[in-house]
Structures are given as C-alpha cells and as structure tokens.
Amino acid sequence: MLKTSAAIALAAGIAFPALAATDTNEWVGQLLGTSQAEIASVLEERGIEIVAFEIEDDEIEINIVQDGQELELEIDPTSGLVTEAEIEDDDD
C-alpha cells in the first residue's frame, strides 16, 4: 500500500519531488514563496540545496541542485509560483 501511495504521489507531482528523477516540468506551477526565507525553508524541507539566489527583471531566479544536476528556477515574486525551470547549462 505504501509503495502504491508513493507511486501515485510521484506521478501526480504532489509529494517527494527530491526523490523523482530530475524533470524540470515537475517544478513549474509549484508554490515556493515570495521571499528568500520562504523559498529556502520550502526547499530545505525537501532536501534541495540552493546554490544561487537573485532578483532580476522582476523575477526571482534561483539555482538549485537536485539529483546531482543544477537547475535554474524562475519564480513570480508576487505569487511565489515557479514559472520556468531548466537544467543549468555550464556554457551560460
């Protein structure tokens, strides 16, 4: 039963995001917060490391490490929702 519940939660993207394979789409639409403290708290609870945080062009941009890969997340500063997520390219 526990395996089934976890599989359903993973498929729905509603729980355990740190356990799923790195998929940038799982982040879009997630509520992380509108301040650095809120975002850090949510990600810390999920075991996700923040490696960069900046506010640029009326967006919050953060870089995180998930499953050994660095991702860049863009967050709407008003709603706290992730609007874009992509795997960070070392060439940027």
Give a yes or no: residue 73 inside a domain.
Answer: yes
pLDDT at 1 exceeding the cut of 90? no
Token pair for residue 2? 């526990």
Give a yes or no: residue 60 inside a domain.
Answer: yes
Give a yes or no: residue 13 inside a domain.
Answer: no
Q: Extract the runs of DSSP E, i.e. beta strands, from 1-92.
A: 49-56, 59-66, 69-75, 82-87
What pLDDT was estimated at residue 8?
Answer: 46
Tell me the average pLDDT across 67-87: 95
Give how many domains the chain has, as a whole number: 1
Report pTM: 0.71
Host domain of residue 76? 22-87
Tell me the average pLDDT across 47-70: 93
Tell me the average pLDDT across 70-92: 90
The CATH number of the domain holding residue 72 is: 3.10.450
Give a yes or no: residue 16 inside a domain.
Answer: no
